[in-house]
Amino acid sequence: MEIESLWQEAEEMESEVNATEEAGSKATALCSVFEDQERTLMFLEREKKTLKQLNAECEMKMHDLERRIGILEVRKNEEQSKRVREEEEMREKFGEKKKQIETLKQRKGSHTSRFLGLSIPCTNTTTTRFRKQMSCTGCSSS
């Protein structure tokens, strides 16, 4: 019996050794998995930091571009306002010139009427412009 109990004890010890070895190999595998996960975590933390930096840079660039767009919009509005003012000034000048032309036409008409009432003989020394204004028929050359 004693041998039998020794055999039994040896088998139990062998079972425990096998279980311990199995647990050890599982522990080693788990350590390996843990190390892989730790490396992955460190990588992800570095990536997170890098992405935060890139995000901050992008935000700065975006704000800069928004500021530049604002400046360009202001310049565009100023140029548009300037163009509108210039167009209005040109219309005013055009209107003034048109009024001057009308006034000059009226003055010419009244002067022509007065001169046509007079009998002024046309001579060769009469200027072409005066002849055209007078529209006289007494001149041999028109």
Instruction: Give the pLDDT confidence score for residue 108 in this predicted structure.
Output: 82
Q: What is the mean pLDDT of each successive set of 10 residues along the chain, which is 142 residues long?
A: 83 90 92 95 97 98 97 97 96 95 86 62 52 52 44
User: HEC states along the chain?
Assistant: CHHHHHHHHHHHHHHHHHHHHHHHHHHHHHHHHHHHHHHHHHHHHHHHHHHHHHHHHHHHHHHHHHHHHHHHHHHHHHHHHHHHHHHHHHHHHHHHHHHHHHHHHHHHHHHHHHHHHCCCCCCCCCCHHHHHHHCCCCCCCC
**What's the pTM value of the predicted model, to 2 decimals?**
0.47
Q: Identify whether the C-beta of residue 120 lies closer than 8 Å to the C-beta of residue 134.
A: yes
Instruction: Give the pLDDT confidence score for residue 28 in this predicted structure.
Output: 93
- The gap from C-alpha 13 to its chain's centroid, in whole angstroms, comes to 81
Instruction: Give the pLDDT confidence score for residue 123 in this predicted structure.
Output: 52
CA distance 35 to 41: 10
CA distance 53 to 46: 11
Domains of the chain by residue range: 36-109
Instruction: Give the pLDDT confidence score for residue 140 in this predicted structure.
Output: 47
